[in-house]
Structure 1
């Protein structure tokens, strides 16, 4: 049986490029977000994860579901996939790496080689639907 890792992610586009993050000690970039803790709603988990990773507060009333993407999980056995339930939202504060995050980067289709496989699924969809320039 294939295993699915369930995660939430924040879609933030600025100047036609998608915000991604890279963890300390890792090479590939992924969408900011993470896993729900026991009893958390998607909104609660997303607010917590984004604050922990990139030091900003999402505006709860602005959170909107975008799409759910599934792709091979990086660094995991073949058949282990990650499911990203993605939301867009406004934020307050200044984007800054925090906790385990080493770098923030705005990417487009020219940056495919630095993106995780699951992030590429989202990137491709966003390009196909003309969200990115």
Structure 2
């Protein structure tokens, strides 16, 4: 695939680490885990997409005042042609995390769980590990 015909799936994701583990979600019928988030609607900002997707998937509210860009990663898309480009953000939240919509379950993944994540999620996982944030 050349650079001109490469399909890019543009996503915004939430990187949430608690007690040395990163929050991950699994969709119904899938085995791979991903970081919560999703695709932007046309004209939607990163913050608007992040807030909407997290509310839809996890039933919590992101605190906009605490949103910080963690980084952007790009990796092969899981199960389809092209690549995923993820703009990743950290943020505090209000509410209780509950899997909803297309999410079958949530998990807190630690240092030994890298291979359970999508390729893009694994890159974020690597950076969290490098920073010493994954300890559980």
User: TM-score per shorter chain, which class?
Assistant: over 0.9
Q: Could you report, residue by residue, the CA deviation over 1:59-111 in whole angstroms, capped at 9, with x for unpaired residues? A: 1111111100111110013xx11011000000000000000000101112201
Q: Could you report, residue by residue, the CA deviation over 1:31-68 in whole angstroms, capped at 9, with x for unpaired residues? A: 00001101211101100000000100001111111100
User: Hey, what does 2:54 align to over in structure 1?
Assistant: 50
Q: CA RMSD in A?
A: 0.9
Instruction: Provide the rounded CA distance (Å) in 2 between the counterparts of 1:59 and 1:113.
Output: 30
Moved over 4 A (4+): none
What stretches of structure 1 of length at least 5 have no aligned partner? none
- 1:132: Cα distance to partner? 1.5
Choose the corresponding residue for 1:76, options 47, 64, 80.
Answer: 80
Choose the corresponding residue for 1:5, options 5, 9, 14.
Answer: 9
Matches within 5 A, 1:36-115: 36-77=40-81, 80-115=82-117
Number of residue pairs matched by the alignment: 131
- Give secondary structure in 2 for the equivalent of 1:127: helix
When normalised by structure 2's length, the TM-score is: 0.93
What stretches of structure 2 of length at least 5 have no aligned partner? none
When normalised by structure 1's length, the TM-score is: 0.95
